[in-house]
Amino acid sequence: MSEKMLDGKVAIVTGAGQGIGREVALAMAAHGAKIVVNDIGVGLDGNATGDDPATKVVAEIEAAGGQAIASHGSVSDWDSASATIRAAVETFGKVDILVNNAGIIRDGMVHKMAPKDFDDVIDVHLRGSFYMSRAAAEHFRAQNSGCFIHMTSTAGLIGNIGQANYMSAKMGIVGLSRSLAQDMQRFNVRSNCIAPFAKTRMTESVNAPEDQKAARAARIAGWRPEAVATLAVTLASDASSEISGQIFGARGGEVFVFSQPRPIRSVHKDGGWTPEGLSKVLPKFGPVYAPLSEIAMTWDSVD
């Protein structure tokens, strides 16, 4: 039997009880990794459901001949996050891959958003990604290897109405990933982001104007979580050992790389500018200003 891409590796996948996280956990297990399936069993809003999806995914992995354990700790709590990393090391001897996928949504227009709804989303997505990464980083540094994969979103990279909390968290994750890539490069550790396009309970929960719902449903029908899982497996494998600090996307059969902010135009004046003088120049940058449109793909139809 040929060697699998993740043979001998140990992966932790947060939010792995359903949707994209589940597909990533199953795919990594199918490619030889031992998996810590982390999920506390909550709804999209972060409230408890009484379900135990992590244990169900572990059973699926074991039924297919893989090895896995369930973790029910919250990523938004430092002690729980650290305990999840320890569980991987104590059970499987090490940790090689961390996939920060756990998340919740609390949508609302920014002028109506409750501060708690902002804080809770930041806590799970951004603070949770940091806590998990911080706890894993000690082991990655000691073993001189490791791979971080974080789930960002076009909601952060491009924008989406009514998601100030989610947008802030997802853009923050990009900064966290970039920091991990730079800080940990000397220890042969890499960090990348994936902006997933997939039909899941989260994407289906996003509100859309009535006249756009049918078109949106048709557009996302072919966006399968398996495509995101395939990209995650590839980034986690040794075949991607030279790739770090990047933002990828997966949408059906399409995989792409996002650009990252860099200066694109400048204007200089000896002695500096006055507000009056600069006010006449800034409008001339108009052709290179990023539009407020939520359209992420310039090659897509906007109909």
Please identify every residue annotated as catalytic: 166
C-alpha atoms less than 13 angstroms from C-alpha of 138 in its C-beta half-sphere: 8
CA distance 284 to 288: 9
Q: Name the token pair of 196.
A: 């997933």
CA distance 15 to 20: 8
CA distance 229 to 223: 12
